[in-house]
Amino acid sequence: VNRPRARRGEGEHLRDEILEAGRRLLVETGDEDAVTIRAVAREVGVTPPAIYLHFEDKNALLLAVCRKTFEALDDQIEAAAAGIADPLEALRARGAAYARFGRENPEHYRILFMTRPFEHDELEPAEMTSGAFEHHLEAVQRACAAGALPPSTDPLLAAIFLWSGVHGITSLLIAKPKFPWPPIDELVDHVLRTLVEGLLSPGAA
Amino acid sequence: VNRPRARRGEGEHLRDEILEAGRRLLVETGDEDAVTIRAVAREVGVTPPAIYLHFEDKNALLLAVCRKTFEALDDQIEAAAAGIADPLEALRARGAAYARFGRENPEHYRILFMTRPFEHDELEPAEMTSGAFEHHLEAVQRACAAGALPPSTDPLLAAIFLWSGVHGITSLLIAKPKFPWPPIDELVDHVLRTLVEGLLSPGAA
DNA sequence: TGTACATCAGTGAACGCGCGTTCACTGATGTAC
DNA sequence: TGTACATCAGTGAACGCGCGTTCACTGATGTAC
């Protein structure tokens, strides 16, 4: 519970340490409720009131942790799809990256997509997602423009369909770890392919 | 905080009242954490220690509430599919009933499918689901037997695919109420139809 | 029919705990002169 | 170069709260004789 005090201009440094400690607590305890002001302070090696120098309250702290995580998710998806020319392949790669992120960071995924929205979050709708959904929608639109999806396809509906499908398997794997799942990699791959098949069917307007 | 004491054999009556109060708290507060021993006792009109006459601890109480809810979900799905001859229609009707349950009982759905599994739950895997997944799997197998799905279909994979797809849209609607969803009934219907289209595609082995 | 007594559903008070948040403060860092 | 002083990143103690759980108890209900 001892640590060097920051120099004059280095208040921001502690802010970063606090965020990182919040992230670490989430990962190590696997419990959103474990991220308390006091636990974070303990983790950083600082007294609880020091947190308030950098965050208005507990909610603001959690919100900041989430925003950081959203950026990481978006980055990983963009990186996975970069350089893939075929638009359907790109959609599958994006979905695979999304599912992988969820399985590698289950507690972050949980807080992003499986918990009740925060109380005072005017930023939920779009700002909060750091544009990840917009990027996804654009990828679907590119597939439509390339003629890779049926002409009757509504890009927004198709994008939501894919998102909810990938989210479905990702979140079930997290929520029901004891369910007798078949081999998980094959399962996720099968789901991704079958989802895209559904979009390709001319029956689904 | 006054209520008539139960007669000799009527201890079970209070047990039911406790479960019902737990369910009500979940619905009214919309917060799993609001279901505390003390809050339930307050709701029933009894002192906290009285809860322990009927449940070993807080976990056992929550578990009992969940089991009750699982039964309700299973019942509603079975009722929705009863009397539908066409096996694909039956699958769609089951999915629609599942999604409806989630939207009408968001907090129950959350506790059933979106929260961390409890600590000492040897019953998670199958007993906990009250056979709901088994019933779903049987419905898929009937569709296979009737030749309504491609012969290469693996019933277990197909059942998980449908479950995760319906769960996906259901849980996203609950977790992201502020997202600019298109009209919800049409959206859910579209997702259900497109999921089944995916299964029908011969490409998805 | 009457009475002593066992049963058992529930009470009331208390325990120790960790939480979010506040407040007055301290003491090293950098600056003005 | 030296010193008084403002700044500001943090401390330490305390607040009131609700929680899960325990323990010794009470008092109406039903039963044995």
For the stretch B16-57, pLDDT in tens is 999 999 999 999 998 889 999 999 999 999 999 999 999 999
CB atoms within 10 A of CB B79: 11
Q: Which residue shows structure tokens 């799809």?
A: A81
pLDDT by position in tens, chain B (length 205): 356 666 655 668 999 999 999 999 999 998 889 999 999 999 999 999 999 999 999 999 999 998 888 899 999 999 999 999 999 999 999 999 999 999 999 988 998 999 887 755 555 555 567 689 999 999 999 999 999 999 999 999 999 999 999 999 999 999 999 899 999 999 999 999 999 999 999 764 5
Contact B192, A199 (CB under 8 A): no
Task: Point out the nucleotide closest to A41 (alpha carbon to C1′).
Answer: D10
| Residues in chain A closer than 8 A to B191 (CB atoms) | 160-161, 164
CA–CA distance, B14 with B17 (Å, rounded to integer): 5
CA–CA distance, B54 with A46 (Å, rounded to integer): 44
B38 touches strand C (CB under 7 A): no
For strand D, which nucleotides have at least one atom less than 7 Å from a protein CB? 8-14, 18-24, 28-30
Which of B108, B87, B122 has its CA nearest to residue B174?
B108
Question: CA-nearest residue of chain A to B30?
Answer: A116
**B116–chain A nearest CA distance, Å:** 6
Contact A38, A1 (CB under 8 A): no
Asked if the C-beta of B122 comes within 8 angstroms of chain A's C-beta atoms, the answer is no
Q: What is the largest CA-CA distance in chain B?
A: 66
Could you say which residues from 169 to 188 on chain B have a Cβ atom under 8 Å away from some Cβ of chain A?
169, 171-172, 175-182, 187
CA–CA distance, A169 with A175 (Å, rounded to integer): 10
CA–CA distance, B40 with A2 (Å, rounded to integer): 43
Which value, to the nearest 10 degrees, does the dihedral of the CA atoms of residues A132, A133, A135, A141 take?
A: 170
CA–CA distance, A201 with A183 (Å, rounded to integer): 27
- Our measurement of CA A8 to C1' C26, in angstroms, reads 16
Question: CA-nearest residue of chain B to A164?
Answer: B168
A48 touches strand C (CB under 7 A): yes
Residue type, position B138, single letter = E
